Amino acid sequence: MGTVTSTMDIVRQLERLGAAEGITVIAASQTRGRGRAGRSWQSPESAGLYCSILLRPRISPYRFQPFSIAVGLALCEALDPDQQIGLRLKWPNDIVYQEKKLAGILLTTSLGGALVESAILGIGLNLHPDTARPDHAISLTEIPGSNPAAVEQLFESIARMIGLRYDAILCEDPERALADADARLAFLGRAVAIEDGSMTHFGQVIGIDDRGALQLATSSAVVAISSGELTRGPRS
């Protein structure tokens, strides 16, 4: 493990060179770690798990759609197997503890014809506290009851859980891919706002559907929202 710009960049290069599915890059630190929506991901030396994995699903985007939610659930499962700690998936791609962000997921896909030819899955997991991180972040060692093992060991259990759910996606079994979604979903039953481009949806979170979309009971209907950022709080 060394320092890289971003593990996403390295895996992208390997993908272009024809690397096989499963190839993984884990870095000790990143100089240009990135998150969703153009944000940066602070990646100080040895304070987190920073990794990217190459996948070659070769299925339709429709079938692949629930995968990023499945990864979030796999992370919760690996880090909080008995649901004793209270880690939750904040739809769509954050793992939180009491509303503080513990981990984030970045998924990029490349199409080949009508199929997802390759995907690069990036995971950033805060392991130890670091002043470079924003206030709303938390690390695994700060969470009571957590089991902060060595990076390699943590990666192994995370990869195992992702593998099981990825297999369910490839077998077209969204129920298995998204198992336990409601139990592990943050803000279930709560009023939230979802910002999606220029639109904001307000409503009560009622679950995740078999496409990984967030089901929201608005004042007029139940709607399924497939992308956006969840910001807490009722309509003001």
Contacts to ligand BTN by CB under 6 A: 6-8, 30, 33-36, 39, 41, 50-52, 93-94, 104-106, 122-124
Shortest distance (Å) from residue 188 CB to ligand BTN: 20
Angstrom distance (rounded) from CA 68 to CA 157:
17
Shortest distance (Å) from residue 207 CB to ligand BTN: 22
Write the DSSP symbol of residue 128: S
For β-strands 222-225 and 29-30, DSSP reports them as unpaired
- Residue 140's H or E segment, with its range, is none
Shortest distance (Å) from residue 187 CB to ligand BTN: 17
How many CB atoms sit inside 10 A of residue 125's CB? 22
Which residue's C-beta sits nearest to ligand BTN? 104
Shortest distance (Å) from residue 221 CB to ligand BTN: 30
User: Among residues 31 and 83, whose Cβ is nearest to ligand BTN?
Assistant: 31
User: Among residues 72 and 203, whose Cβ is nearest to ligand BTN?
Assistant: 72
- Residue 89's H or E segment, with its range, is strand 87-90
User: Among residues 39 and 160, whose Cβ is nearest to ligand BTN?
Assistant: 39
User: Among residues 36 and 176, whose Cβ is nearest to ligand BTN?
Assistant: 36
Token digits of residue 65: 């759609």
Q: How many residues does the chain have?
A: 236
Write the DSSP symbol of residue 142: G
User: Among residues 65 and 93, whose Cβ is nearest to ligand BTN?
Assistant: 93
Residues 21/55, Cβ–Cβ less than 8 Å? yes
Shortest distance (Å) from residue 170 CB to ligand BTN: 23
Write the DSSP symbol of residue 123: E
